[in-house]
Structure 1
Amino acid sequence: MYQEERLIGVIQFLKEKRRISIDQMCEMFDISRDTARRDLVKLEERKAIVRTRGGAILPRTHTAIQDYSNRLNTVSYEKQQIGSKAASFIRAGDKIILDTSTTVQACANQIPPLEVTVITNSIHQAEILSNLESVSIQLLGGYLQKEHQFLYGASVIERLKKYHVDRAFIGVVGISEAGLTIAHEEDGMVKRNMIKQAEQVIVLADHTKFGVTEFFSFADLNDVDVIITDRLPDEDFRQCLNEANVDLIVTEEEGPGIWT
């Protein structure tokens, strides 16, 4: 097999598995470790991979995070389905936390008229729920992040520490073996403390968030109880979730839709 054929094979493998080792390359292509290393050097020179100890990964891609108003205009059918499933977890008398993400907003839009206490740092979530007489809202005060419409800072975190809730509904920009990640550190610090105050942590993430690692890590996989998504992630990541004791609920699946 020519080198170019091997390089194409390596990239295809990385797109599916996200990581490749030199030993895997030797077995796949029946080549020596020195040849495998030379192939990785060639791919690195083309900026197609990032070399790691003993192998390689694909380089991170950075997607610009739209402001909140633009993201609201692109709330997809899949996010609406995720939000509907998340809302079905809420029971009368619950005390819950809702973060600022648009997927969590899809949940807020579908909360039934129950006696529920909601704690949030999102102006939009509070505005939506203000139309439900049965919902009591605790809006966490702090500095306003104008572009993305959330409140943050030491006062938000100190206030959060006073509450203990049944469930926290958390959105992410990325979810991978590195855990839960977000683009803005100030948002991530609030999310981290929301998770600490909840008996059950439910992450809402459409399939585009899997395998993505963003700038700021705010939680590990084992901090999560349930992930609700629209498509089943790959087998390797499902194994990571299983090891972290995370229940996976896939909205497109028929039947109970719970994977472990």
Structure 2
Amino acid sequence: MYQEERLIGVIQFLKENRRISIDQMCEMFNISRDTARRDLVKLEERKAIVRTRGGAILPTSHNAIKDYTNRLKTVSFEKQQIGSKAASLIQTGDKIILDTSTTVQACANRMRPMDITVITNSIHQAEILSNVEDVSIQLLGGYLQKEHQFLYGSSVIERLKSYHVDKAFIGVVGISEQGLSIGHEEDGMVKRNMMQQAEQVIVLADHTKLGITEFFSFASLNDVDIIITDLLPNEDFQKQLEKFNVELIVTEEEESDLWT
């Protein structure tokens, strides 16, 4: 097998398994450890991988996190499905926390008039729910993050500690075996404290967030009760969720059931 063929094989393996070891390469391609190392050096020179001790991983994908206004324009059908399912879990009398994410905003958009209390640090979530009858809103005051339209800082965190709620709805930029992560530390610190004040933590994440680890990790899978997503994740990730007793709700599967 030519080197270029092996390099293509390595990248394909990494896309499916996230990491590869030199021993795995030797077994896959029937090559020596020295040849495997030379292949990894070649891929590293092309910036296609990041070499680790004994193997390689794919480089972190640093997709630009769009400002909130632009993200609002790209709320996908999948996020709307996730938001609708999340809203269906809210019951009369609930006290809930909503974070600032657009997927959680999709939940706010689907909430019907009922006697509930909503705590949020999102200006957009508060504005949406101000038009929904019987919903009481507690807007957490703090510094305004102008680009993404959320309030943050020590005053937000201190205020959060005074509340005890039934459910917290949390959005992420990444969720993996390393836990929940976000692009902004100040946002992540608020999310962490929101989760700590809730009896039940419900994470809303479309399939593009699964298996991703972003800049700032703010919680582990052990802190999560339910994940709502649109596509069934791979088997390894499902096993991780089972390990931590996280319930998985997949909107695509529920929609399929309606037609069977």
TM-score (norm 2): 0.95
5+ residue gaps, structure 1: none
Residue 160 of structure 1 and its aligned partner are, at CA, apart by: 0.2
* CA RMSD after TM alignment: 1.4
Counterpart CA distance in 1 for 2:116 and 2:191 is 20
Counterpart CA distance in 1 for 2:240 and 2:54 is 21
Correspondence for 1:51: 51
Aligned residues: percent identity? Answer: 83
Deviations 1:70-92 (A, max 9, x none): 11111111000000010111111
Match of 1:253, SS state, is helix
Residue 23 of structure 1 and its aligned partner are, at CA, apart by: 2.1
Match of 1:43, SS state, is helix
Counterpart CA distance in 2 for 1:245 and 1:190 is 24
Residue 211 of structure 1 and its aligned partner are, at CA, apart by: 2.0
Quick one: which amino acid aligns to residue 147 of structure 2?
E
Quick one: which amino acid aligns to residue 122 of structure 1?
S
Counterpart CA distance in 2 for 1:99 and 1:90 is 15
Quick one: which amino acid aligns to residue 121 of structure 2?
N
Normalized per residue, the structure richer in helix is 2
Match of 1:213, SS state, is coil
Match of 2:136, SS state, is strand
Quick one: which amino acid aligns to residue 253 of structure 1?
E
Correspondence for 1:34: 34
Counterpart CA distance in 1 for 2:256 and 2:79 is 19
Match of 1:252, SS state, is helix
Correspondence for 1:154: 154
Correspondence for 2:203: 203
Correspondence for 1:249: 249
Counterpart CA distance in 2 for 1:138 and 1:186 is 20
Q: Is the 8 A contact 1:17 1:236 kept in 2?
A: no
Match of 1:69, SS state, is helix
Correspondence for 1:140: 140
Residues 224 and 256 of structure 1, relative CA distance in 2, 3 Å threshold: farther
Correspondence for 2:117: 117
1:58-97 to 2 correspondences below 5 Å: 58-97=58-97
TM-score (norm 1): 0.95
Count of residue correspondences: 257
Quick one: which amino acid aligns to residue 197 of structure 1?
Q
1:97-246 to 2 correspondences below 5 Å: 97-246=97-246
Residue 94 of structure 1 and its aligned partner are, at CA, apart by: 0.6
Residue 69 of structure 1 and its aligned partner are, at CA, apart by: 1.1
Quick one: which amino acid aligns to residue 156 of structure 2?
V
Deviations 1:138-157 (A, max 9, x none): 10000111110000000000
Match of 2:85, SS state, is helix
